[in-house]
């Protein structure tokens, strides 16, 4: 159990609790002092005082000990939540003994990989004999994934709050799926590549369907070049032209998840940001009618509705961890035959991967466009990080540009 | 305009301040009693209680965040004051007494800065330290009782503080309805009342166990010999209720605690010295009787026989609160109205025979002729009266002084007066004079070094100096109405502060003649004869003009708060029960319309719903749920606003379900 993460937003409470613990220790020391001096001086008054204080500490310890004995726990967590959402865990407690107890708190032994913030203390409760009493606590997860844990720690004290005791209890395994959260990103993607195509460049894209679909409200990622001024003047708000990219258009996302390429700590890592951006871009592409695939992560993507497909993507990206042996370039090379002609591959990477150069050449030969979304990993690096070459290094950018990859440096100061 | 803050269950309340006030009061009381500064006891206790009231007022007037921020700063400032300033209230400037002095000041002044839980509870630290010192000094018998009372208060206070801490944790956990906790999650809690119960059990265990423990470690106990820094001059019983009448009477023992308690009424022709006990043998810094039972020499009869042409006068004694077996009588008693309860000690004093209340007595006493001025001491006394002339060993200096001051006196009477005048000239009368140091003779120390003292030292000096020049003399304790205070019936009101000691010298033709050397002595301001050295706590200025009004205001406020609470509870209960009844009527009406007939009297609500399953159709399950909610609401002691809201919402859901049922007629 990571006590340091407990009460991150209730520092005062924590300090008060530690003060009380100090008070308990001080009272114990005073009791000991009185007892020793009582014996040394043979002082009757001190014998009474010392006995009373020792008995008080003893009674407090006994109460604290009994408060965490004979309990039964059941935990209920929501099956899945989005990254960063507040999750409330409900814990039901039964007392198996017909005794009155002081208030107890519960501490869930969350798995170490589940990085969280804003963990609240649990609701203190007084367990009752054979009657379910419900406690709760909440936190915000900072990492995606599927997490399982079991066991719970009950922390009880005496009625005076002087002595605290803990006891661990087994519980059924609880599963929590933390889905990725789309992170908006403002990118100037080439129009013909299925992201806000304009008339000027439409002819350059091979196989892109260009039937106009109408106008829509301006959103933050839209280029000003696509604003339809006449409609905007009429509607008194910015409207942009939207084009049907055609059912044959496919956007493939490949995310760098090679072991050791995730730079950063806790929830602020390059991988988490790339996943968030990929989710966002996938949603945009799907809304524009493009077919979105994740080569390497799924074998046979099916054609489903926008909403269904997004659900699939959320589930898919939940499991992505930086633990693969293969490099992004190797994955891209492997998927060369799977991608349809005229589709675009978006490679999201933060650490330079030179395998991508040969893979890009092969992909270009198959008529697949390759766009590299580059993240400056140095901005995530901590002081003791091992050395790496950021994907935004000029050398690497030059090399991939030469191989026909369109490099786009993702602006981090806006989104991270 | 000052706005009172709302009663917040997460903040310290009036009861907490009451508990803390009691805690501090008993500690300070025990400390001052232990240190012997009885006259400061009530002032410190009152100041601490006022501090508690002040702190409570601050918490009511100041927002919680400000109070919590400023409380620590204020307490630290006060702590610094107590550490570096702490004016000395002790009679001695002993460096070892700095710690108790600091702790007393910290407690008293710190009570003005207890604006949050932590500072409130922190006061327990100096309390424990001070009580431990009281235990170490072991000079106050009530220390253990005070400690137990302190422990009970502390346990309850900590239990309540722990509850508040848990309530804050509940809020931090995201639980919004903290006011409902005691009816739900905390219904079965062992809270502050259990803390108090535990503390009571602890007290009982200690009372039973401590003597056993002390007994069991007797082999190793007491290996360290500790001389407490509290000197004997401040180790005094709490209240001194009368003059000594025991076999021995120590002198020069430090300030006496003289109260203004009425001891008896005396009907006399004018203020007279009233004896309780006499002593003839000066030894080891005190007076004793050569004959331990005090009976046998019959000096009284001899004295009466010495009087030439004596005059008689009437007197009456009406005891109120006699604390001695010696019965105060004027000299020399010749007859008494009733002697059944008294025994004649034959030295001019009388004492009560056994238990039972002291009776009122009247009688006749003798005095020498008014115009008689004796000149010669009775140097021819029978041999059995020799003790009245014996000078103790190592009294050369006193004897030398007596001889020096009487060198020019022609008669014994002149000598006696010269001695008295010399004592008056040399020494000041001071009720708060320090005790004679150990292994020093009190009379020597008084006459030649301290030159300050109270009646026993004046009288002892007078006796020894008189004996030095051959005048038989004795030391007498009793009462003298120095303030000439009379009640409506003309009786002299004799108080504890009228207790006195004087010398009686034996002269031919006159018998025992009183020589009170304090008469002409200069008094230290505020310390004159007849002054009370201790005010009872209920007689103090603080108590009468500050504590009582403050307590009345506090009680009024508590009663007002209690009345509001009862009123609010009643209103809430009536209002919620009305709302529940209305909601149930609506529920029943909905069901009646859907089912087509009302609930039978023999049916419970659940039976009615179950019997109507077919008619209710798909709404049956919702109706069951709503019915369960109503069962809980109608039969539980308290219905919350949230329950009422959910009842209404569920009823709306039922209505929609009933409305959306397929119309049976159309089917």
Per-residue pLDDT band for B466 (boundaries 50, 70, 90) equals very high
Mean pLDDT score, A328-332: 90
ipTM for the whole complex: 0.75
Whether A244 shows a pLDDT value over 70: the answer reads: no
Distance from CA of A66 to the nearest CA of B (A): 12
Phi-psi region of B524 (alpha: psi -120 to 50; beta: other; left: phi over 0): beta
Residue B413 CA to residue B196 CA, distance in Å, equals 71
Give the H/E segment covering residue B590.
helix B548-595
Whole-number pLDDT of residue B90 = 67
Whether A246 shows a pLDDT value over 50: the answer reads: no
Whether A376 shows a pLDDT value over 70: the answer reads: yes
Whole-number pLDDT of residue B541 = 66
Residue A157 CA to residue A62 CA, distance in Å, equals 9
Whether B96 shows a pLDDT value over 90: the answer reads: no
Pairing of strands B428-429, B522-523: parallel
Q: Which of A313-327, B15-29, B96-110, B561-575 has the lowest mean pLDDT?
A: B561-575
Identify the top-confidence range among A11-15, A204-208, A375-379, B662-666.
Answer: A375-379
CB B505, CB B539: distance < 8 Å: no
Contacts of B195 in chain A (CB under 8 A): 158-160
Whole-number pLDDT of residue B351 = 83
To the nearest 10°, report the CA torsion of B36, B39, B40, B42: 120
Q: Which of A373-377, A400-404, B571-575 has the lowest mean pLDDT?
A: B571-575
Q: Which of B473, B510, B487, B508 is nearest to B331 (CA)?
A: B510
Per-residue pLDDT band for B666 (boundaries 50, 70, 90) equals very low
Identify which of A124, A136, A158 has the shortest CB distance to residue B166: A124
Mean pLDDT score, B300-315: 84
Identify the top-confidence range among B17-31, B286-300, B381-395.
Answer: B17-31
Q: In whole angstroms, what separates CA B334 from the centre of its chain?
A: 44
Give the H/E segment covering residue B415.
helix B412-426
Whether A160 and A303 share a structural domain? no
Strand ranges (E), B428-472: 428-429, 452-453
Domain boundary among A179, A207, A236: A179
Whether A164 and A260 share a structural domain? no
Whole-number pLDDT of residue A71 = 92
CA-based nearest residue in chain B for residue A7: B172
CB B349, CB B299: distance < 8 Å: no
| Per-residue DSSP letter, A385 | P
Distance from CA of B38 to the nearest CA of A (A): 20
Residue A48 CA to residue B135 CA, distance in Å, equals 9
Written as six digits, the tokens of B666 are 């159309």
Q: Tokens 């009994």 label which residue?
A: A66
Residue A110 CA to residue B129 CA, distance in Å, equals 43
Distance from CA of A266 to the nearest CA of B (A): 23
Residue A318 CA to residue B65 CA, distance in Å, equals 43
Whether A46 and A134 share a structural domain? yes
Residue A319 CA to residue A325 CA, distance in Å, equals 16
CATH of the domain at A388: 3.40.50
Per-residue pLDDT band for B22 (boundaries 50, 70, 90) equals very high
Q: Domain containing A31: what range?
A: 1-179
Per-residue pLDDT band for B2 (boundaries 50, 70, 90) equals very low
Q: How many interface pairs between A and B have CB atoms less than 8 angstroms apart?
A: 200
Is residue A198 situated within a structural domain?
no
Residue A335 CA to residue A294 CA, distance in Å, equals 10
Question: B170-209, pLDDT tens digit by residue?
Answer: 888 888 777 788 878 888 888 888 888 888 999 998 888 8
Per-residue pLDDT band for A8 (boundaries 50, 70, 90) equals very low
Q: Do B174 and A17 touch (CB under 8 A)?
A: no
Whole-number pLDDT of residue A349 = 94
Whole-number pLDDT of residue B231 = 46
Q: Do A124 and B138 touch (CB under 8 A)?
A: no
Identify the top-confidence range among A66-75, B226-235, B480-489.
Answer: A66-75
What backbone torsions phi and psi does residue A283 show, to the nearest 5 degrees? -60, -40
Question: A336-361, pLDDT tens digit by residue?
Answer: 777 777 788 999 999 999 999 999 99
Whole-number pLDDT of residue A1 = 37
Whole-number pLDDT of residue B473 = 92
CB A346, CB A187: distance < 8 Å: no
Whole-number pLDDT of residue A147 = 93
Is residue A351 situated within a structural domain?
yes
Per-residue pLDDT band for A385 (boundaries 50, 70, 90) equals confident
Provide the residue ranges of all domains of chain B, joining segments of one domain with +: 14-224, 248-533, 571-659
Whether B535 shows a pLDDT value over 60: the answer reads: no
Q: Which of B94, B105, B98 is nearest to B227 (CA)?
A: B94
Pairing of strands A268-269, A104-108: unpaired
Domain boundary among A146, A179, A212: A179
CATH for B248-533? 3.10.620.30
Q: What is the largest CA-CA distance in chain B?
A: 144
Identify the top-confidence range among A226-240, A245-259, B285-299.
Answer: A226-240
- Mean of all residue pLDDT scores within chain B: 81
Whether A212 shows a pLDDT value over 80: the answer reads: no
Mean pLDDT score, B510-523: 83
Phi-psi region of A138 (alpha: psi -120 to 50; beta: other; left: phi over 0): beta
CA distances from B583 to A133, B586, B641 (A): 28, 5, 13
Identify the top-confidence range among A399-413, B178-192, B546-560.
Answer: A399-413
Identify which of B158, B201, B205 has the shortest CB distance to residue A162: B158
Is residue A388 situated within a structural domain?
yes
Whether A140 shows a pLDDT value over 90: the answer reads: yes
Whether B234 shows a pLDDT value over 60: the answer reads: no
Q: Do A161 and B161 touch (CB under 8 A)?
A: yes
Mean pLDDT score, A305-321: 89
Percent of chain A with pLDDT over 70: 85
Mean pLDDT score, A211-230: 75
Distance from CA of B222 to the nearest CA of A (A): 4
Contacts of A122 in chain B (CB under 8 A): 169, 173
- Mean of all residue pLDDT scores within chain A: 83
Identify which of B124, B185, B223 has the shortest CB distance to residue A126: B185
What DSSP assignment string belongs to A315-361?
HHHHT--S-BSS-HHHHHHHTTTTSPTT-EEEEEESB--THHHHHHH
Whole-number pLDDT of residue A317 = 93
Whether A193 shows a pLDDT value over 60: the answer reads: no
Whole-number pLDDT of residue B246 = 65
Domains identified in chain A, total number:
2
Question: A87-127, pLDDT tens digit by residue?
Answer: 999 999 999 888 889 999 999 888 988 989 888 999 999 99
Whole-number pLDDT of residue A10 = 45
Q: Do B155 and A39 touch (CB under 8 A)?
A: no
Whether B26 shows a pLDDT value over 90: the answer reads: yes
Mean pLDDT score, B515-534: 66
Q: Do B186 and A136 touch (CB under 8 A)?
A: no
Pairing of strands A104-108, B281-283: unpaired
Angle between helices A11-41 and A44-67 (to 10 degrees): 140
Mean pLDDT score, A293-320: 84
Percent of chain B with pLDDT over 90: 14
Is residue A19 situated within a structural domain?
yes
Q: Which of A15-29, A56-70, B178-192, B511-525 has the lowest mean pLDDT?
A: A15-29
Question: B445-459, pLDDT tens digit by residue?
Answer: 888 888 888 888 899
Mean pLDDT score, A311-333: 91
Angle between helices B455-468 and B396-405 (to 10 degrees): 80
Mean pLDDT score, B631-658: 81
Whole-number pLDDT of residue B410 = 87
Written as six digits, the tokens of B246 are 């025991």
Question: B152-172, pLDDT tens digit by residue?
Answer: 999 999 999 888 888 888 888
Q: Which of A45-49, A157-161, B257-261, B329-333 has the lowest mean pLDDT?
A: B257-261
CB B503, CB B474: distance < 8 Å: yes
CA distances from B556 to B45, B60, B550, B564 (A): 22, 16, 10, 12
Q: Do B128 and A55 touch (CB under 8 A)?
A: no
Mean pLDDT score, B536-563: 75
Domain boundary among A139, A162, A179: A179
To the nearest 10°, report the CA torsion of B546, B552, B557, B561: 150
CA-based nearest residue in chain B for residue A164: B162
Q: Which of A354-358, B274-278, B518-522, B653-657 has the lowest mean pLDDT?
A: B518-522
Report CA torsion sign: B647, B649, B651, B654: negative
CA distances from A198 to A186, A208, A241, B27 (A): 17, 12, 8, 87
Per-residue pLDDT band for A374 (boundaries 50, 70, 90) equals very high
Identify which of A39, A103, A120 has the shortest CB distance to residue B166: A103
- Mutation site for B-interface testing, chosen from A11, A18, A44, A47 by largest number of B Cβ within 10 Å: A47
CATH of the domain at A18: 2.60.40.10
Q: Do A52 and B148 touch (CB under 8 A)?
A: yes
Percent of chain A with pLDDT over 90: 41
Contacts of A30 in chain B (CB under 8 A): 128-129, 132
Residue A263 CA to residue A350 CA, distance in Å, equals 8
Whether B316 shows a pLDDT value over 80: the answer reads: yes
Whole-number pLDDT of residue B4 = 43
Whole-number pLDDT of residue B360 = 87
Whether A33 and A146 share a structural domain? yes
Is residue A175 situated within a structural domain?
yes
Whether A312 and A409 share a structural domain? yes
Q: Which of B278, B622, B667 is nearest to B463 (CA)?
A: B278
Whole-number pLDDT of residue A23 = 76
Per-residue pLDDT band for A3 (boundaries 50, 70, 90) equals very low
Q: Which of B584, B582, B570, B583 is nearest to B638 (CA)?
A: B570
């Amino acid at each position: 159990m990571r006590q340091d993460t407990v009460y991150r937003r209730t520092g005062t409470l924590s300090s008060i609790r530690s003060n009380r613990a100090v008070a308990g220790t001080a009272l114990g020391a005073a009791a000991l002092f009185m007892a020793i001096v009582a014996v040394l001086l043979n002082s009757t008054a001190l014998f009474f005082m010392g006995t009373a204080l020792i008995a008080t500490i003893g009674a407090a310890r006994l109460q604290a000990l009994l408060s965490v004995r004979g309990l039964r726990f059941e935990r209920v967590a929501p099956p899945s939540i989005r990254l960063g959402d507040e999750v409330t865990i409900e814990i039901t407690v039964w007392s198996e003994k017909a005794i009155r107890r002081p208030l107890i708190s519960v501490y869930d032994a969350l798995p170490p990989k589940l990085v969280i913030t804003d963990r609240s203390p649990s609701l203190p409760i007084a367990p009752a004999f054979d009657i379910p009493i419900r406690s709760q606590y909440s936190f915000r997860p900072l990492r995606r994934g599927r997490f399982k844990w079991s066991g719970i720690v009950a922390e009880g004290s005496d009625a005076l709050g002087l002595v605290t005791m803990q006891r661990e209890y087994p519980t059924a395994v609880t599963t929590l799926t933390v889905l990725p959260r789309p992170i908006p990103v403002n990118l100037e993607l080439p129009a013909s590549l299925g992201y806000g195509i304009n008339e000027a460049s439409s002819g350059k894209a091979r196989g892109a369907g260009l039937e106009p679909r109408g106008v829509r409200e301006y959103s933050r990622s839209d280029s000003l070049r696509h604003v339809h001024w006449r409609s905007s003047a009429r509607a008194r708000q910015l409207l942009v032209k939207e084009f049907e990219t055609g059912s044959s258009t496919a956007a493939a996302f490949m995310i760098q998840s090679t072991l050791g390429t995730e730079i950063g700590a806790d929830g602020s890592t390059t991988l988490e940001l790339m996943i968030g951006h990929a989710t966002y871009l996938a949603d945009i592409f799907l809304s524009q009618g493009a077919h979105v695939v994740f080569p390497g992560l799924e074998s046979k993507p099916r054609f489903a509705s926008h909403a269904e497909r997004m659900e699939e993507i959320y589930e898919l990206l939940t499991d992505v961890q930086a633990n693969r042996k293969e490099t992004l370039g190797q994955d891209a090379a492997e998927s060369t035959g799977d991608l349809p002609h005229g589709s675009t591959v978006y490679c999201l990477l933060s650490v330079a991967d030179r395998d991508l150069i040969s893979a890009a050449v092969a992909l270009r030969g198959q008529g697949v466009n390759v766009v590299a979304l580059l993240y400056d990993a140095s901005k995530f690096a901590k002081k003791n990080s091992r050395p790496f070459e950021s994907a935004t290094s000029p050398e690497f950018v030059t090399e991939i540009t030469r191989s026909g990859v369109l490099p786009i440096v993702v602006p981090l100061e806006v989104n991270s | 305009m000052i706005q009172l803050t709302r009663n917040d269950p997460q903040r310290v309340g009036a009861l907490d301040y009451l508990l803390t006030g009691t805690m501090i009061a008993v500690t300070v009381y025990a400390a001052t009693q232990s240190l012997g500064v009885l006259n400061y006891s009530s002032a410190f206790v009152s100041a601490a209680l006022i501090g508690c009231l002040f702190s409570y007022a601050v918490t009511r007037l100041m927002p919680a965040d400000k109070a919590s921020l400023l409380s620590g700063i204020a307490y630290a400032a006060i702590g610094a004051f107590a550490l570096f300033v702490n004016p000395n209230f002790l009679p001695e400037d002993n460096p070892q007494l700095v710690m108790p002095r600091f702790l007393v000041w910290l407690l008293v002044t710190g009570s003005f800065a207890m604006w949050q839980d932590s500072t409130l509870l922190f006061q327990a630290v100096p309390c424990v330290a001070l009580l431990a010192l009281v235990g170490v000094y072991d000079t106050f018998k009530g220390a253990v009782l005070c400690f137990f009372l302190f422990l009970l208060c502390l346990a309850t206070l900590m239990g309540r503080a722990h509850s508040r801490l848990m309530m804050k944790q509940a809020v931090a956990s995201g639980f919004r309805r903290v006011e409902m906790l005691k009816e739900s999650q905390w219904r079965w809690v062992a809270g502050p009342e259990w803390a108090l119960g535990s503390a009571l059990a602890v007290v009982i265990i200690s009372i039973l166990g401590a003597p056993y423990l002390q007994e069991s470690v007797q082999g190793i106990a007491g290996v360290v010999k500790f001389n407490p820094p509290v000197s004997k001059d401040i180790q005094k019983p709490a209240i001194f209720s009368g003059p000594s009448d025991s076999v021995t009477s120590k002198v020069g023992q430090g300030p006496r605690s003289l109260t203004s308690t009425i001891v008896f009424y005396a009907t006399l022709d004018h203020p007279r010295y009233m004896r309780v006990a006499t002593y003839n043998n000066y030894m080891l810094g005190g007076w004793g009787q050569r004959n331990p039972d005090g009976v046998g020499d019959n000096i009284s009869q001899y004295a009466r026989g010495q009087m030439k042409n004596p005059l008689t006068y009437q007197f009456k004694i009406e005891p109120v609160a006699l604390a001695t077996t010696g019965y105060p009588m004027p000299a020399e008693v010749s007859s008494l109205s009733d002697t059944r309860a008294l025994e004649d000690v034959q030295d001019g004093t009388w004492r009560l025979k056994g238990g039972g209340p002291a009776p009122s007595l009247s009688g006749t006493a003798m005095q020498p002729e008014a115009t008689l001025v004796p000149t010669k001491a009775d140097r021819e006394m029978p041999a059995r009266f020799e003790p009245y002339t014996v000078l103790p060993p190592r009294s050369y200096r006193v004897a030398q002084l007596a001889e020096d001051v009487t060198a020019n006196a022609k008669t014994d009477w002149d000598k006696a007066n010269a001695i008295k005048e010399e004592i008056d000239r040399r020494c000041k009368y001071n009720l708060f004079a320090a005790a004679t140091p150990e292994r020093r003779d009190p009379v020597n120390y008084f006459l030649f070094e301290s030159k300050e003292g109270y009646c026993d030292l004046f009288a002892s000096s007078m006796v020894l100096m008189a004996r030095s020049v051959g005048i038989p003399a004795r030391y007498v304790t009793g009462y003298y109405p120095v303030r000439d205070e009379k009640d409506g019936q003309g009786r002299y009101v004799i108080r504890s502060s009228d207790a006195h000691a004087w010398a009686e010298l034996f002269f031919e033709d006159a018998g025992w003649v009183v020589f009170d050397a304090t008469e002409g002595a200069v008094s230290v301001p505020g310390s004159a004869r007849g002054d009370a050295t201790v005010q009872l706590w209920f007689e103090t200025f603080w108590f009468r003009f500050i504590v009582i009004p403050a307590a009345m205001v506090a009680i009024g406020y508590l009663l007002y708060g209690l009345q509001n609470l009862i009123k609010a509870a009643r209103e809430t209960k009536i209002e919620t029960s009305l709302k529940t009844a209305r909601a149930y009527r609506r529920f029943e009406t909905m069901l009646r319309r859907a089912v087509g007939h009302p609930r039978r009297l023999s049916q419970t609500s659940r039976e009615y719903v179950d019997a109507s399953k077919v008619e209710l159709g798909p709404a049956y399950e919702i109706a069951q749920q709503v019915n369960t909610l109503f069962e809980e609401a109608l039969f539980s002691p308290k219905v919350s606003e949230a329950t009422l809201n959910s009842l209404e919402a569920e009823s709306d859901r039922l209505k929609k379900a009933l409305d959306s049922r397929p119309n049976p007629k159309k089917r």
